[in-house]
Structure 1
Amino acid sequence: MTEPYAVPVPRGYRVGGWEVREPIATGAFGSVYEGRRRDGQPATAALKFLPTGTGTPRRLTHLRELVEREVQLYRRLRRPRLIRMYDTLVVDDPERPELDGATVLVLEKAQTSLSALLATRPRPPSGPALLAQICEGLAQLHRANWVHGDLKPANVLLMEDGSARLADFNMAAELEGTHAYTPAFSTPDYTPPELLWAEIGERGRRIRPSADVWAFGVLAHLVLADTFPLPGGTPTARRDAAAAYARGTDDLRLSPELPDDWREIIRDCLTRTHAERVTAEPLLRRVETAAGTSRSPRPFFARRLRRTTITAAVLAAGALAALGYGISDWTSDDNGPTGDASAPATVSPAAYGAAELRTDKGVPAPYRVLIVESAHDCAQEDVTPALIAAMLKAESNFDPDLSDPANDEYGIARWTPRVLRYWMNADGTPADTMPQPPFPPAESIPAMARYLCWIAPRLDAGLPGDRRVLIAAAYRTSYDKVNDAGGVPAKNRDYAARIAQYLKEYTPPGRK
């Protein structure tokens, strides 16, 4: 190690089935090591040790608040552009008082960081594509009503395939209206002028999503031009330049080497006031166009989830949180309500979608909103809430922690990682890296609906039997095998019979 680690952990130390290997990085509040294990998935991870068991009472309170912020976000958001958390552990080792009580976050392991890449290769050829992925991560956070609060190259991790993930969320915070509250720490070069001398209240500093947009503008300028957008040889000098720019006594002088489209994007991120700044969604569209990475969603999805759904989802959050799962994966904003809601916006989770899914037959209340709205997001009439509920019952008995390593199947929908990869993203594009279990319901259930929606029109029109049962059989095998067999293949008939039984139980009287 070239510098003292905040939490020194010896190589070979074991915690929760993990063995500590090489050191990866350290910071003021914690240290990260490679972890290996032989029993189960994933085989490697990044172990982030946070010293929540040692220090003064005031320091411990502060550290625990930071840890809670990070853990809360990881548990509630599972997005393809955010580093994933697999588990949290607490060290129980009285013989090592320097480690006893430490919190350990078991995180998806990255290959390197954007900071390390820029140090060895300024203006990397992959820069525009990486910026598009970073901006996508910001849009995912903001869409879920979270602010990162500390976006910078060191907090952008690069995976083995070169794709980018946002990480280090101990400054992240959930919005309360237009603002969130974060600790009074930041990296000056990436802090917007309005926050450099902002008042610090009892809950911390008030921050808006526009602070992340400013940080993205600085980061984009650094990636594309190898310089900061504000002049000065030190962070202090650049901070003073930012203040002069915000007062209007100095202009923004961007690098002449920037392409015109990127110059305008960065200028709209680095406006003098927060109110003038572009927001994350339109910023993402412009960045993807500039980077040449614009994508179109798969055509068979009818619409995004409705805004009325979000109110009901908020009501469901308490029940979901008790199971350690969030709902932010599948909620998304749109331009307003479309179509007819299946239930009033104020309905309770236990009764949500009652017109389409029986409430008295054992479908767990925390999953009803996910099931109903995931079905609604498909244009195929045979992909119904009752079908999804019946399949979840048959696949796992609604067990979110199902693990069947022998068949490489995990979670409430029994996903195999190699198949889930193609269905976990809401925009219909495959994930850049192979997903690793556990797979939470907020990820598994919408992915199941997307896959069923893709299967439905590919089944031959003349097949005998209930189309919903045929779709379920194709989920277990493939639509080709169902078509070739002229119906449910022999090996899948027991499964199909269970699906038919549960469909009868879960479908309200008078509905198909």
Structure 2
Amino acid sequence: MTAEEHPTVPVPAGYRIGRWEVREPLASGAFSSVYAARATDPGSVSADGLPADAALKILTTGTRTPRQLSHLQELARRELEIHRKLQHPRLIRMFEAQTIDDPERPGLDGATVLVLERAAGSVEDLLGRSGAGPLPAAPGLLAQICEGLAQIHRAGWVHGDLKPANVLLMADDSVRLGDFNLASEMEGTHAYAPVFATPDYTPPELLWSEISEQGRQIRPTADIWAFGILAHLLLTRTLPLPGGTPAARRDSLLRYARGREELRLSAELPEAWRPIVTDCLARSHEDRAVHDAGSLLRRVEAAAGTGPSPRLPRLRPRRVSRRVWAAGVAAALIASGGAYALRDRPQDPARYGSDELRTDQGIPVAYRGLIVDAAHTCESRDVTPALIAALLKTESDFDPNLADPAKDEYGIARWTPDVLYYWLPENQRPAKVKDLKPPFPPKTSVPAVGRYLCEISRTLSKDVRGNRKVAVAAAYRTSVEIVNNAAGVRPQERAYAAEIERRLDQYTPGSG
């Protein structure tokens, strides 16, 4: 039986968890199972900014010894903490967390449930369903994986379990890192992780590391090692250490770590990647430490090339019904922060979104659909169509051809090219920032504003005073760090903030 056929946490189809109905199992690990889920009231979740389809990660509990239960509770705590603290484009998103209250089912009662964006599959699935030989899409995949690692490390965390099953592939071919129950927050030069690991991706220093009451010391270099193993696997379809079983490969690792054997990389490994993999698989963490995820990312992107990566092989059958296809596209756009949230627009574009945006206050008809849809890609209540309209009015007076070369700002949202580049979807990014040519059209600029404001809202401190919507706009004009440090709008931005607030009131139905 596969893990999906015999999950770690059995849950019957149709079981209700909050507003979600459990569907088919998607994956299982040692401590959890992941199920497809469907909102029982799609209208309700849509109002809260959630997709109708999601993935439920249910962490095992019940019928365990007190010691086992303590370990499992710690894993759940770690995963919840990193999801709540970190929101980055390359990390799988958590929409909400719940605890099951069902005394009649001891195996589920008290279990932690994470409601996550649903992926199309994982790199492990991709390897299992692809033919022999290197993956054509491997360079592009590795660049995105490394970007995710850099985001985690910059935030002061170690993933601790990077492997193919934990690299998730979205419906739009983009990558998310997932499964953070072994993730650890840094305390100075190291973190403490649970004493669990995947043997083929464990660096040598962890094989004989001391274990304290807090766990085992781990550093970001453990992720660098795992990335080197993963890169070798994707580029050659082989693991770099010889052996037909994990135990045999562990023996090879010990001999290599003790200097009894040299690292022998596959002849199939492309020359551009050989120094990268060699540095990632250095014997000691000190030798790996000079290649942090930030510098590694620049090298990986150079080795991957600047052109678009080849599309991934399909993880699902090509023939699908029109209804299923539409649902899949909607999920992909919501999950990836795509340009538009799919919804039925009324025939009259001038009335589109009239329940959320005043249509009699001079907002150009051509931009109303873009504004409303951009707001709907975000689950935060801070980001509304009225706020986006107020920001665009204040920034450019809705002028799509605005050009301010002195500040390097262009278009309806006054985007700077290198900032806009970051907030474009993968399939809209040119090879290089310099290939973005201003002025940027509203159909590109406005959706990017929605994605950027959404990220600002998630990282804006709870201590910020005053109208949070206005503070979000102020952070767009300056930065989140500036607004958080000032606990609100600084004096030098108050005139800007006052104009945002005035327009926000003007464009919000029922206000004023």
SS at match of 1:287: helix
Counterparts in 2 of 1:425 and 1:72: CA distance versus 1, 3 Å: farther
* Deviation digits for residues 205-255 of structure 1 (CA, Å, limit 9, x no counterpart): 111110100000000000000101111111111111111111111111111
Aligned residue among 34, 37, 40 for 2:36? 34
Aligned residue among 246, 250, 255 for 1:239? 250
Measured after TM superposition, the shift of residue 94 of structure 1 is 2.0
Counterparts in 2 of 1:438 and 1:91: CA distance versus 1, 3 Å: farther
* Deviation digits for residues 415-459 of structure 1 (CA, Å, limit 9, x no counterpart): 56xx89x999897332449979986733478974575479xxxxx
* Deviation digits for residues 30-73 of structure 1 (CA, Å, limit 9, x no counterpart): 11101111221221111011133442211111100000000000
Counterparts in 2 of 1:75 and 1:59: CA distance versus 1, 3 Å: same
Counterparts in 2 of 1:410 and 1:48: CA distance versus 1, 3 Å: closer
Aligned residue among 185, 191, 200 for 1:174? 185
Is residue 10 from structure 1 mapped to residue 26 from structure 2 by the alignment? no
Asked whether the equivalents of residues 182 and 206 of structure 1 are also in contact (C-alpha less than 8 Å), the reply is yes
TM-align CA RMSD: 3.7
Measure the CA separation in 1 of the matches of 2:106 and 2:182.
27
Aligned to 2:301: 288
AA of the residue aligned to 1:94: P
Counterparts in 2 of 1:42 and 1:272: CA distance versus 1, 3 Å: same
Aligned to 2:411: none
Aligned positions of 1:396-407 closer than 5 A: none
Counterparts in 2 of 1:437 and 1:168: CA distance versus 1, 3 Å: farther
* Deviation digits for residues 80-138 of structure 1 (CA, Å, limit 9, x no counterpart): 11001111111112222222211111111100000110112252221101100100111
Counterparts in 2 of 1:244 and 1:415: CA distance versus 1, 3 Å: farther
Aligned to 1:129: 140
Question: Structure 1: 5+ residue runs without aligned partners?
Answer: 296-403, 455-465, 477-487, 502-512
Aligned to 2:128: 119
Asked whether the equivalents of residues 42 and 437 of structure 1 are also in contact (C-alpha less than 8 Å), the reply is no
Measure the CA separation in 1 of the matches of 2:459 and 2:59.
28
Measured after TM superposition, the shift of residue 470 of structure 1 is 7.3
AA of the residue aligned to 2:108: L
SS at match of 1:181: strand
Measure the CA separation in 2 of the matches of 1:115 and 1:472.
51
Measure the CA separation in 1 of the matches of 2:19 and 2:77.
23
Counterparts in 2 of 1:75 and 1:234: CA distance versus 1, 3 Å: same
Counterparts in 2 of 1:405 and 1:226: CA distance versus 1, 3 Å: closer
Counterparts in 2 of 1:439 and 1:10: CA distance versus 1, 3 Å: farther
Aligned to 1:430: 424
Aligned to 2:158: 147
Is residue 411 from structure 1 mapped to residue 380 from structure 2 by the alignment? yes
SS at match of 2:297: helix
Measure the CA separation in 2 of the matches of 1:95 and 1:193.
45
Is residue 93 from structure 1 mapped to residue 89 from structure 2 by the alignment? no
Asked whether the equivalents of residues 236 and 269 of structure 2 are also in contact (C-alpha less than 8 Å), the reply is yes
Aligned positions of 1:483-498 closer than 5 A: 492=503, 494-495=505-506
Aligned to 1:374: none
Measure the CA separation in 2 of the matches of 1:438 and 1:12.
32
Counterparts in 2 of 1:93 and 1:131: CA distance versus 1, 3 Å: same
Aligned to 1:211: 222
Measure the CA separation in 1 of the matches of 2:504 and 2:186.
49
Measure the CA separation in 2 of the matches of 1:176 and 1:256.
40
Measure the CA separation in 1 of the matches of 2:62 and 2:452.
30
Aligned residue among 246, 257, 268 for 2:279? 268
Asked whether the equivalents of residues 456 and 475 of structure 2 are also in contact (C-alpha less than 8 Å), the reply is no
Is residue 106 from structure 1 mapped to residue 75 from structure 2 by the alignment? no
Is residue 76 from structure 1 mapped to residue 76 from structure 2 by the alignment? no
* Deviation digits for residues 398-429 of structure 1 (CA, Å, limit 9, x no counterpart): xxxxxx9997375353256xx89x99989733
Measured after TM superposition, the shift of residue 22 of structure 1 is 1.2
AA of the residue aligned to 1:441: S
Asked whether the equivalents of residues 473 and 497 of structure 2 are also in contact (C-alpha less than 8 Å), the reply is no
SS at match of 1:60: helix
* Deviation digits for residues 269-290 of structure 1 (CA, Å, limit 9, x no counterpart): 0111111112111100000111
- Using the size of structure 2 for normalisation, the TM-score is 0.64
Measure the CA separation in 2 of the matches of 1:109 and 1:65.
24
Asked whether the equivalents of residues 32 and 46 of structure 1 are also in contact (C-alpha less than 8 Å), the reply is yes
SS at match of 2:162: coil
* Deviation digits for residues 123-168 of structure 1 (CA, Å, limit 9, x no counterpart): 2221101100100111111111100111100110000011111110
AA of the residue aligned to 2:86: L
Measure the CA separation in 2 of the matches of 1:138 and 1:203.
24
SS at match of 2:211: coil
Counterparts in 2 of 1:405 and 1:14: CA distance versus 1, 3 Å: farther
Counterparts in 2 of 1:294 and 1:178: CA distance versus 1, 3 Å: farther
Measure the CA separation in 2 of the matches of 1:103 and 1:494.
40
AA of the residue aligned to 2:201: Y
Asked whether the equivalents of residues 78 and 181 of structure 2 are also in contact (C-alpha less than 8 Å), the reply is yes
AA of the residue aligned to 1:180: A
Asked whether the equivalents of residues 288 and 294 of structure 1 are also in contact (C-alpha less than 8 Å), the reply is no
- The alignment-based identity, stated in percent, is 55
AA of the residue aligned to 2:128: A
Measure the CA separation in 2 of the matches of 1:175 and 1:243.
27
SS at match of 1:442: helix
How many aligned residue pairs are there? Answer: 363
Measured after TM superposition, the shift of residue 174 of structure 1 is 0.5
